[in-house]
Amino acid sequence: MTYKAQHFELFPGVIPKEEALYLGARIRELAALKIHFGAESALDRLSVRSEILDVVHQCIGPKVWSIHNIRPQIEKFRSNWHRDCSNKVFGRGRDWNPEVEYRCLKVIMYFEATNEPLQIIPGSYYKDLNPKLVQPGKVVTLRANPGDIIAFDMRQLHRGKPTSNAKVVHQLSYGGQDHHSQRFYSYMHHLRGFPPFSDVHREMLSDEGMLPPDTDYFAKFPKELSTVQVPKPRRTP
């Protein structure tokens, strides 16, 4: 099934396997030296790369902003069920009553992975589903390999599963040029304190018409603060 039908999809081989493995090895090398890979701008360029944007446009249409990037992750973990949207409690906040179609998309790029599992509860982007009550057979497990992308609606309940080997992934967030994306951008950068895009990255996004306004959404709509949850402690950006 396609993203349009289920609001998630595995896209195999978006990046050539050899390139993905090279990026994964380079990220490990720089991490060992405690150097941020983003300093080379290679990951920044990925956010405007045509193959990646083809996936994004296929999922949520044209005219998008790049609304958040997380530095490369080298990890072996199991996460709990969670949503990535700013209004994480079902039915509470404007993410769940959209006068404008919700088009915020998480894109996970896999550099080093062997059938890396990501689980999603289908329909949780529009239904109030309790993960503890969902039958195991209703949970979808997507398995990614180097060069693959998994894209999903940020309102979907999802979790990572433990693996025998640490994976290397890079997460990008995109959204339509509307208030949903402004809210998510502000949630991440103004409430959670993630740093702004670098000057080089901002220039790349601006050239592509993908740079979101750096305005504090919640300063303009302070009543909406009651509908968001800020994790503590926050993850290191």
**176 band by pLDDT with thresholds 50, 70 and 90:** very high
Q: What are phi and psi of 144, to 5 degrees?
A: -110, 150
150, β-bridge pairs: 10, 108
Q: Is the pLDDT of residue 234 over 50?
A: no
CB 8 within 8 A of CB 84: no
Q: What are phi and psi of 37, to 5 degrees?
A: -60, -30
**231 band by pLDDT with thresholds 50, 70 and 90:** confident
Give the residue with greater pLDDT, 232 vs 227.
227
pLDDT digits (tens, 9 = 90+) for 56-83: 999 999 999 999 988 788 876 678 999 9
Question: Sheet of 8-11: strands edge to edge?
Answer: 8-11, 149-153, 104-112, 167-176, 64-75
The position carrying tokens 């990951």 is 43
The CA angle 36-40-44, to the nearest 5 degrees, is: 90
| 2.40.160.50, 2.60.120.620, 3.90.1150.110, 2.40.110.10: CATH of 3-227 | 2.60.120.620
pLDDT digits (tens, 9 = 90+) for 137-170: 999 999 999 999 999 999 999 998 777 677 899 9
